[in-house]
Chains A and B, each alone.
Chain A
Amino acid sequence: MTLHATAPPAVRTRAERRARARRRLTPYAYVAPFFALFAAFGLFPLLYTAYVSLYRVELQTPGEMEWRGLDNYTALLGDEFFWTALRNTFTIGVISTVPQLLMALGLAHLLNYRLRARAFYRVAMLLPYATSVAAATLVFAQLFGRDFGLINWVLGLAGIHPVDWQSGTWSSQIAVSTIVIWRWTGYNTLIYLAGMQSVPAELYEAAAIDGASRRQQFLHVTLPGLRPTIVFTVVVSTIGATQLFGEPLLYEGKITGGISHQYQTLGLYMYEQGWGYFHLGRAAAIAWVMFSLIVLLVGVNAALARRRKLQEASR
């Protein structure tokens, strides 16, 4: 575009044009800082990772890049550890997300009543979220200790044999999921609570007049009103579960995710390849597979939500 007016007979003066241009362009200047930062720290790493994933690169000799094309990706297909990590990510994701969201929904419903010291409960809910992953995981690792852990001690009181919370596949995955559940339930509770408070009170009144019980009110007024909020938390939790990393890494402090890779997630597998064994190309390929997976999952989610909406609209 040219800023210099070349056509003198124009009705508008140069100053007017400038003012117009300014009005039109100022917003872009304001959003530019974000996009500049995003380009540097978001987009560039993303694209560079894609580029690196096509090569064989070792962290110790980053200057020597050997072209591999899509070999890093095809190798993943035949890689047993990759599939284990994918399966673990899925199972830990389900064990951690489903109870988490259900509990959050229940808790939010309770907190929505008039309770004494309601503010206190709400703040308390958010405390685990404010705790660092490392601190929480280290404490839970102690609680889940095999010989001297509190949980096995309590189980022992109930006459149950001590569980090896580290070596077993299910036991270790449950332990890791517990940390996730503990940290994120409160956060989701508050989001649901905010959603519930935007449901108009008249709806409840009307339902009550029609003789709906508390439970029926919850099922037929609260839940439909919360649907957009639930979709949001499901999307956010899905992304979080796919990227799960800190908890399994710090649980035993092993990059292998247990002696048999039994709770190694995709994020941890990427870290093991990249920073444990220094295979940056393979790690980059895993990163892109994870990214595509998240895009796919979110896409499916959005499609389901939209279909549901359309169905309802046509009802």
Chain B
Amino acid sequence: MTVARAARTGAVLLAGVLLLTACGSGSSGTSAGGTGKEPITLTVDLFGSFGYKQAGLYEKYEKLNPGITIKETDTEDEADYWKALQTRLAGGGGLADVQGIEVGRISSVVQRQSDKFEDLGAFGAKKLEKDFAEGKWSAATTADGRILGLGTDVGPEALCYRSDLLEKAGLPTDRDELAEKWSTWDGYLDLGRQYKKKAPKGSRWIDSVGSLYSIMTGQEEERYYDSSGELIHTSNPAVKKAWDTAVDAAEDGLSAELDQWSPEWNQAFSSGSFATIPCPSWMLSYIKGQVGEKGAGTWDVAKLPEGAGNWGGSYLSVPKGAKHPKEAFELVKWLTAEEQQAELFTEQGLFPSNLGAIDRVRKYEDPYFSRAPIGEIFGAAAEQAPVQVLGVHDGDIHQQFTNALSEVEKKGTPSMRAWDNAVKGVDNVLG
């Protein structure tokens, strides 16, 4: 008997353990809600700062829809968030009702994981197409017309600059005059060389050549992949041009050699280590956060050289495995609607992808940035920015190039060798 019991105990234990490990197979519960009578809790899982909580939008929605409670979880770093989301999608459990997706990942979702997300068209999302910027909409739609997410913000780009530093170096500080002088990237570098001659001690022209490279490649329709999904990172002349410009800037000592998002970089916003920085609209609130009130009026915003570009932006999606897909869609629809997107821009600096909202904020000027007409500047950029073709490994490939450019500026690696390193790095990414 004892033997049998011991064996049974062992078996139970083992089974228990296996059950524990098997907990991944999620509850794809389809609670047939919809009338909104039963109180339900919607979970929202995001990264970085979408600003919904800060702008009080959840509270507003809960008031408008009695019986619905919204719970948000947030991961600061998008890369960590993406890894966790992938693990959950693979296991099928632990998914929220609404998941944020960064624009750099959306093509990976559309091409590889469209079966893991709800088709929002089934809930009536098709009607909304005319409300959104075309490129934003099409990037989240599969070839057979399934809609996998609704657009939140976009990242139209401009150049932010320290007018006080430029003045000290004897350069013009008027945003229109500057935009004229740096209408080309060569003009921008020329101005940088002038700045270097009379710059305040320890101050450089740009934060890093990596950010220069990022912003230039962000202006292109095709970057690392062509529209058929083929890799073109070694043959694309636009990539080479951005690379060469960045190398020039590094070799002429125009860069403060800072890694974006590092503690050093954060401190440099107020210490004045660089005079200009390419800034997507969301960077404005980052600058405010780093510099604080004492910096009001020292920063200004001007148009980007050589046209417009886009950096960043996101989508809200409903994964299969969401407990309340229909209610989740209603929430997503409301959060991405005109009024809410317009409010997020004025409150949090997130530029809308909703066309109605873009019109609403057209007249907005930011007092912190010397009353720059940012509604106008970013609105024009958002309209002109090309719809970039994004591939599955876009973000990782990009990092290989910016890493290699860091080698050029920090270690003096010759351009050719750094380029080889980048290409080798890309091969490693593709595996």
Contact surface of A with B, Cβ cutoff 8 Å:
3, 18, 21-22, 25-26, 28-29, 32-33, 36-37, 39-41, 59-62, 79-81, 141-142, 145-148, 164, 166-168, 252-253, 255-256, 259-260, 273, 275-279, 282
Residues on B with C-beta less than 8 A from A37 are 13, 17
Asked whether B203 is an interface residue with its Cβ less than 8 Å from the other chain, the reply is no
* Contact with A277, one of B10, B404, B431 (Cβ below 8 angstroms): B431
* Contact with B18, one of A29, A40, A80 (Cβ below 8 angstroms): A40
A186 CB, nearest partner CB in chain B, Å: 27
Residues on A with C-beta less than 8 A from B87 are 59
Chain B minimum-CB-distance residue to A164: B410
Asked whether B6 is an interface residue with its Cβ less than 8 Å from the other chain, the reply is yes
- In whole angstroms, what is the CA distance A79 to B393 when docked? 20
Contact indicator A60/B112 (Cβ below 8 Å): yes
The interface bits of chain B over 1-38 (1 if a CB of A lies within 8 angstroms of the residue's CB, else 0) are: 11100100110011001100100000000000000000
Asked whether B407 is an interface residue with its Cβ less than 8 Å from the other chain, the reply is yes
Chain A minimum-CB-distance residue to B392: A60
* Contact with A29, one of B9, B89, B263 (Cβ below 8 angstroms): B9
Contact indicator B9/A22 (Cβ below 8 Å): no
The interface bits of chain B over 89-106 (1 if a CB of A lies within 8 angstroms of the residue's CB, else 0) are: 110000000000000000
Residues on A with C-beta less than 8 A from B396 are 276-277
What number of A-B contacts does a CB cutoff of 8 Å give? 102
Residues on B with C-beta less than 8 A from A3 are 1, 3
Q: How many residues of B are counted as interface, with CB atoms below 8 angstroms from the partner's CB atoms?
A: 46
Please judge, given known A-B contacts A145-B263, A148-B267, A275-B83, whether A259 and B273 are in contact too, CB under 8 Å: no
- In whole angstroms, what is the CA distance A86 to B263 when docked? 29
Asked whether B73 is an interface residue with its Cβ less than 8 Å from the other chain, the reply is no
Residues on A with C-beta less than 8 A from B404 are 259
Asked whether B236 is an interface residue with its Cβ less than 8 Å from the other chain, the reply is no
Residues on A with C-beta less than 8 A from B9 are 29, 32
* Contact with A62, one of B18, B90, B258, B262 (Cβ below 8 angstroms): B90
* Contact with B403, one of A147, A253, A260 (Cβ below 8 angstroms): A260
- Other than the known A145-B264, A256-B399, what 18 A-B pairs have Cβ atoms closer than 8 Å? A3-B1, A21-B3, A22-B2, A26-B2, A33-B13, A36-B13, A37-B17, A40-B14, A41-B21, A80-B424, A81-B424, A148-B267, A164-B410, A166-B259, A259-B410, A260-B411, A276-B396, A277-B428
B260 CB, nearest partner CB in chain A, Å: 11
Contact indicator B6/A32 (Cβ below 8 Å): yes
- In whole angstroms, what is the CA distance A306 to B261 when docked? 51
Residues on A with C-beta less than 8 A from B1 are 3, 18
